[in-house]
Amino acid sequence: MSKFKLFIWLPAIAALFPVLMVFTNSFMSGFEISTRYTHLVRPGNIFFADEIHFVRMTLLPDFVTLSQYSELLFNNPVYIGKLWNSIALALPIVVGQLMISAPAAYAFEMSRFRYKEWVYLVYIIVMLMPLQVSLVPNFVTAQALGLADSRLAIILPGIFNPFGVFIMRQYLRNLPRDYIEAAFIDGAGHLKAFILVIAPLFKTAAAALMLLTFVENWNLVEAPHLFLNAATEPLSVYLASADAEIIFAASFFYLLPCVLIFLYGQEHMIQGIQLSGVK
């Protein structure tokens, strides 16, 4: 193996190791988790909090068991409810952002409004701001609209995230104008040109946007913690207070949707990002 390949593989293995450890540790028993990863030691059904020890990490459990998955899927319905809460947040944002971003990108690129680049600059500035900066304005706005305890307080800002407009416009800039001009010559207006010509060409960029948006909103923590109550909080928030005896199985199931979606659509995502010119 060349030094260059070794340089590439070592960070990759280091990045995958926590995921592998979560998967293998999900086959531990509750007793082994409590003795390895907490200060609680449980011989039988009694906890002794005074027996403090350092965390004893391991890749392979002493005894393989499916007790975590059994508890999680069959005896703990709270987890399934939190999973659906996460889907109820991420899915509307993905669909809504796609529906808003594509027409907005087309309008920015084709409009003759003289100040459109200044408006677009505002989009870029807002996009570069971290989420924590916008939490307070979003909270004030949600309270004014009566949405402080609703999922809409998170879904609406997510739908109108400037990132979708940015990636769609970058992709549109790399498309040949001949397609649009041919549609105009045939008598099509902007609406017809967008629906019949541009929208079908957006498939690759749309796939990349959907993947990135889903992962971003699947992992939300701050906004749900601020806006939602215990009944509607997503799985990303619930994991912080989950029972230690099922934490590895719960974490693995939490990772699974993102991993499967990425494996299924990684080619579309890479191609979409490349064609959009995002570095």
Q: What is the DSSP string of the chain?
A: --HHHHHHHHHHHHHHHHHHHHHHHTTS-HHHHHHHHSS-B-STT--BTT--------SS-SS---HHHHIIIII-HHHHHHHHHHHHHHHHHHHHHHHHHHHHHHHHHH---TTHHHHHHHHHHHHHS-HHHHHHHHHHHHHHHT-TTSTHHHHHHHHT-HHHHHHHHHHHHTS-THHHHHHHHTT--HHHHIIIIIHHHTHHHHHHHHHHHHHHHHT--HHHHHH--TTT--HHHHGGGS-GGGHHHHHHHHHHHHHHHHHHHHHHHHHHHHHHT--
The reply to whether 30 and 126 lie within a common domain is: no
In-domain check, residue 9: no
The reply to whether 211 and 252 lie within a common domain is: yes
Domain that holds residue 39: 21-65
Residue 197: CB atoms within 10 A of its CB come to 17
pLDDT tens digits, 108-142: 888 778 888 888 888 888 888 887 788 888 888 88
In-domain check, residue 146: yes
The reply to whether 137 and 26 lie within a common domain is: no
Percent of the chain scored above 70 by pLDDT? 86
Provide the pLDDT for residue 92. 93
The reply to whether 47 and 129 lie within a common domain is: no
* pLDDT at position 4 over 70: no
The reply to whether 51 and 163 lie within a common domain is: no
39, 65, 91 - which closes a domain: 65
Tell me the whole-structure pTM to 2 decimals.
0.79
pLDDT tens digits, 211-231: 888 988 898 888 888 888 888
What is the Cα 171 distance to its own chain's centre?
A: 21
The reply to whether 207 and 98 lie within a common domain is: yes
Higher pLDDT, 150 or 77: 150
Tell me the backbone φ, ψ of residue 41, rounded to 5 degrees.
Answer: -115, 125
The reply to whether 39 and 85 lie within a common domain is: no
In-domain check, residue 15: no
CATH of residue 217: 1.10.3720.10
In-domain check, residue 16: no
Residue 15, both tokens: 């990045």
The reply to whether 88 and 223 lie within a common domain is: yes
65, 90, 122 - which closes a domain: 65
In-domain check, residue 12: no
Degrees, nearest 5: CA angle 45-50-52: 100
Cα distances from 132 to residues 147, 152, 230, in angstroms, run 19, 18, 21
In-domain check, residue 206: yes
Identify the sign of the CA torsion 191, 192, 196, 201. negative
The reply to whether 88 and 184 lie within a common domain is: yes
In-domain check, residue 5: no
The reply to whether 173 and 219 lie within a common domain is: yes
In the chain, the number of structural domains is 2
pLDDT tens digits, 47-101: 444 455 566 777 788 888 888 888 888 887 788 888 889 999 999 999 999 899 8
Provide the pLDDT for residue 51. 52
Cα distance between residue 67 and residue 131, in whole Å = 38
The reply to whether 61 and 145 lie within a common domain is: no
In-domain check, residue 184: yes
The reply to whether 84 and 144 lie within a common domain is: yes
